[in-house]
Amino acid sequence: MSVALLDVINSLSLASWGVVIGSLFTALLSGVVYWQDLTKRSSKLFFLFGLVNLVWGLVYAYFEGSFATSGMHAGITMLYATAAVVPPFLFLFLYVFSVEDSQLSKSKLLAFFSPYFAIVGILVFYPGFIVSYEEAVGDTLGKIVFGEGFLIYAFYVLAYLLVGVGLLVKKYRESGGIFKTAIRGLLFAVSVASVTAVMMSLFSPIFASGGHDLFWIGHLAVILLIPLATYILINYNFWNIKIIATELFISIVVLVLITELFLAISLLDLFIKTIIAMLIIFSSSFLVGSVKREIQSKERIMRLSQELDLISKRLKVLDKKKSEFLSIASHHLRDPLTAIKGYASMLSEGSFGDLSRPVLEAIEKIFVSSGHLVTMISDFMDISRIESGDMNYNFKDVDMKKLVLGLASEMKQSAEHSHLTFTATVDEGSDDDEEYVTVGDEGKLRQVISNLIDNSIKYTPRGEISLLLCKSPDGKKVIFSLSDTGIGMSELTKEKIFKKFSRAEGVSKVYTEGTGLGLYVAKEIVKKHEGRIWAESKGEGHGSSFYVELEGKK
């Protein structure tokens, strides 16, 4: 028997070897698909379909190898018997897939396979009724001969295939979205494979006078159907193709290692190959686990990224609405406050008659408080413009020396009113005709400098404030610095004072009306001038220094 089997193997053609190897590969692939979800009946039946296809391929190889020998009669019966089981298993897979993995009762299974048992019974007990083999005469080759019952066999095969395709068509009409696309692909693959297999494996011997040279094409069509169906099932069930590819590769390696065990030439060789096989199988389990963990991590990161992106978009919408609200609210508040401030000024100046001292003091408080509110509303409006990109700048030559000395003159009275020593100087090392000209928006730069001076006055309970205007050592930059003996800042405070709504710790004890917006607006304005603004302090209670660095005009 072993000699006969070796003779069969030696007689195989290249096409037969291709069928055997392809059938083995597709059986492994269908097994990997089943492994993804052991609970799905459609995956289980897909695996069984792959195994049936493997048996069909092996029997075909035996049939090819035994052609023109005494084993040909048994070979042709086995070939048509195994070929007859392929359509029922394909139909079962399509049936369960189409009705969402419905459970198959024993009565249904018996009904599905009863026609197959009838066909096998006819093939075994009534040789020649469906198909037989005619021995060679002289130099001629033998050929396949079809009997009166071949039409029954053909109808049996076509009935399973047509009903299976019909189920897919029905499911395609009921589905939608990505599922409809997947079913359309599966319907196309099954239809093409079925037509090809029927024409080449079932009807080609009739037109080729009993020849079977095109049988392998029918096998190839079914072999190609399984990888295509696998790809479609992966998309349909949202499985990860990397995991399946890894498991398939490992399955092939393990199969090769197991085959090597049977080819061992000695006990030592068998022992070494067994140890190697066990090590590779053991390490492969870690490889698959690692791939799964990596993919799960990537999917988790992707979901988090999508959630963050969604949150970011929502925050941008909310931020935009907030800016619009600030702009509208600030605009409508500013007009009445301007009127309050104006009338308070007129009352204190005696435009409506002489007032008593207590009344004048009350009006002065109204005037000062309304001024603070106008400043706060201006800051809110500036933030709204900055964040919406609507802040307009009118760049031109700005004489910083004139601007700083002018502001110092205006605000000196306020500092002296707070009993502070106030000085403003230009770098003594400079010539009188030294130019402190930069290109910028004079109004915006004036706003920055006045805000810094105003803050120093507010947060310096006693001592002095000194302003200095100078140039960098290379003479290319104009530097404004302001130093005071005020409350000072910690390292933590220095990091946050230029952020929105941030104030130094403890400043509420000195000045309660700040919003924490002025330095943020100043930073954004200086940034637009391609300059730099920063603060320095030796610590709380040791005063502060603020610096603004701008490009000098070239």
pLDDT digits (tens, 9 = 90+) for 223-249: 888 888 888 887 777 676 777 777 777
Tens of pLDDT along 434-445? 688 999 989 889
β-bridge partners, 425: 468
Instruction: Kindly report the average pLDDT of the chain as a whole number.
Output: 81
Domain boundaries, the chain: 2-239, 307-388, 396-551
State the Cα–Cα distance between residues 35 and 43, nearest whole angstrom: 8
Q: Do the first three CATH levels of 307-388 and 396-551 match, i.e. the same topology?
A: no
- The whole-angstrom distance between residue 395's C-alpha and the CA centroid of its chain comes to 44
Closest CA to 465 of 544, 351, 348: 544
State the Cα–Cα distance between residues 533 and 552, nearest whole angstrom: 15
Of the pLDDT bands very low, low, confident and very high (cuts 50, 70, 90), residue 65 is: confident
In this structure, are residues 197 and 214 in contact, taking their beta carbons and an 8 Å threshold? no
Of the listed ranges 321-330, 347-356, 515-524, the one predicted with least confidence? 321-330
Mean per-residue pLDDT, 415-424: 88
In the predicted structure, residue 190 carries a pLDDT above the cut 60: yes
Tens of pLDDT along 82-115? 999 999 999 988 888 887 656 777 888 888 889 9
What's the token pair of residue 380? 């809110």
DSSP-H helix ranges across 198-266: 204-207, 215-237, 241-262
Tens of pLDDT along 366-380? 877 777 777 777 776
In the predicted structure, residue 332 carries a pLDDT above the cut 80: no
Q: Exposed, middle or buried by CB within 10 Å (0-12, 13-18, 19+), for 357? A: exposed
In the predicted structure, residue 483 carries a pLDDT above the cut 90: yes
Task: Measure Cα distances from 358 to 175, 354, 365, 386, 522 in Å.
Answer: 85, 12, 11, 42, 38
State the Cα–Cα distance between residues 501 and 522, nearest whole angstrom: 13
Closest CA to 549 of 470, 484, 441: 470
- Phi and psi for 256 in degrees, rounded to 5? -65, -40
Q: Tell if the pTM clears 0.85, that is, is over it.
A: no
pLDDT of res. 87: 92
CATH T-level topology, domain 2-239: Rhopdopsin 7-helix transmembrane proteins (1.20.1070)
pLDDT of res. 69: 65
In the predicted structure, residue 329 carries a pLDDT above the cut 70: no
Of the listed ranges 338-352, 408-422, 477-491, the one predicted with least confidence? 338-352
Q: Where are the beta strands (DSSP E) in 14-170?
A: 131-134, 143-146
Closest CA to 165 of 87, 230, 262: 87
Of the pLDDT bands very low, low, confident and very high (cuts 50, 70, 90), residue 493 is: confident
State the Cα–Cα distance between residues 416 and 455, nearest whole angstrom: 15
Of the pLDDT bands very low, low, confident and very high (cuts 50, 70, 90), residue 158 is: very high
CATH 1.10.287.130 correct for 307-388? yes
State the Cα–Cα distance between residues 1 and 416, nearest whole angstrom: 119
Total length of the chain = 554
Secondary structure of residue 550 in the 3-state scheme: strand
Secondary structure of residue 467 in the 3-state scheme: strand
State the Cα–Cα distance between residues 515 and 296, nearest whole angstrom: 47
What's the token pair of residue 89? 């298993």
Mean per-residue pLDDT, 153-164: 92
Of the pLDDT bands very low, low, confident and very high (cuts 50, 70, 90), residue 512 is: very low
Residue owning tokens 């049996």: 156
- The whole-angstrom distance between residue 248's C-alpha and the CA centroid of its chain comes to 26
State the Cα–Cα distance between residues 57 and 267, nearest whole angstrom: 33
Q: Which of 186-190, 244-248, 278-282 ranks highest by mean pLDDT? A: 186-190
In this structure, are residues 198 and 183 in contact, taking their beta carbons and an 8 Å threshold? no
In this structure, are residues 424 and 416 in contact, taking their beta carbons and an 8 Å threshold? no
CATH T-level topology, domain 396-551: Heat Shock Protein 90 (3.30.565)
Task: Measure Cα distances from 287 to 35, 234, 238, 273 in Å.
Answer: 16, 20, 21, 21
Task: Measure Cα distances from 127 to 55, 121, 268, 273 in Å.
Answer: 22, 10, 50, 47
In the chain, % of residues over pLDDT 70: 85
Q: How many CB atoms lie within 10 A of CB 512?
A: 7
Mean per-residue pLDDT, 521-532: 90
Contacts 24+ apart (CB under 8 A), 469-474: 469/400, 469/401, 469/404, 469/424, 469/425, 469/426, 469/427, 469/436, 470/426, 470/427, 470/429, 470/430, 471/427, 471/430, 471/434, 471/436, 471/552, 472/549
State the Cα–Cα distance between residues 109 and 112, nearest whole angstrom: 5
